[in-house]
Structure 1
């Protein structure tokens, strides 16, 4: 009987170590190289309600000029930290364009990053990806 208790304790220890390892690995944050994407030329893809939207834009550390369907818009950029920023349309044409957009870079890999965005104060998040042009 004592042998069974020792055997069960060993199995519990193995299970505990396995569970601890899985928990630690799942908490690991992906490394993000957000600084690499603060300036340059980019293409963006987002999907809203099943429809795909593609745009091209160029930005420096404070201005982003975007071309979507031959319409060019200019946005000011305010960086919150290396991976988050606020976009505001410099010349909004309507009330909706006056709303600031919060963008958060979720992960980066090579010349691409995935992001989430929403109007400032809105809980509904949309997602997209950006590729830096060489």
Structure 2
């Protein structure tokens, strides 16, 4: 009996189940089986939700900052293609580029004209040790745009009337 009295004093009730109250409002279409429920949020809850949304947007903006391309790091130097079937060593100065294939001994010489820090035009000037006549390639220009960089290398989009390729290069080991 003691436990019963303590529980009752704390607000617990025992005995008959209370009937659930019926909904006082029904949906606009008059359907009595599915009454509409209305809830309102307190101004504190609404403000907290707004603050959370603003915080998420700010964090997203910081994470979406475009990675800065460091094209000048690859303006000159020695590079290799990432593709295994392209063993050429590329030696680039500010105005020239030489591609040397160590297996076939083909050497392709090009002039480089920089349009911006991340874009240049490469024009073939001389090709040596090519097994066929390569005179049709002399004077051919290839537009090259550096589209991404990282600490190991860079990726370019190379286009000309004959090609439209995405190529990846790494710094050559010395």
Shorter-normalised TM range:
0.7 to 0.9
Residue 12 of structure 2 corresponds to which residue in structure 1? Answer: none
**TM-score, normalized by length of structure 2?**
0.59
Counterpart Cα distance in 2 of 1:96 and 1:5: 72
Counterpart Cα distance in 1 of 2:120 and 2:62: 29
- Describe how 1:87-102 pairs up with structure 2 within 5 A: 87-91=122-126, 93=134, 95=136, 98-102=139-143
Asked if 1:63 is matched to 2:103, the reply is no
Q: State whether residues 44 and 131 of structure 1, in contact with CA within 8 Å, keep that contact through their aligned partners in structure 2.
A: no
Gaps of 5+ in 2: 1-38, 128-133
Residue 115 of structure 2 corresponds to which residue in structure 1? Answer: 80
Aligned positions, number:
127
Residue deviations 1:106-125 (CA, integer Å, cap 9, x gap): 1131xx32212222478944
Q: Which has the higher strand share?
A: 1
Could you say which structure has the larger radius of gyration? 2
Tell me the C-alpha RMSD between the 2 structures. 2.9
Gaps of 5+ in 1: none
Task: Give the 3-state SS of the residue equivalent to 1:53 in structure 2.
Answer: coil
Q: State whether residues 34 and 108 of structure 1, in contact with CA within 8 Å, keep that contact through their aligned partners in structure 2.
A: no
Report which structure shows greater RCO (CA 8 Å, sep ≥6): 1
Q: State whether residues 62 and 77 of structure 1, in contact with CA within 8 Å, keep that contact through their aligned partners in structure 2.
A: yes
Moved over 6 A (4+): none
Residue 27 of structure 2 corresponds to which residue in structure 1? Answer: none
CA 1:6/1:75 → structure 2, altered by over 3 Å: closer, same or farther?
A: same
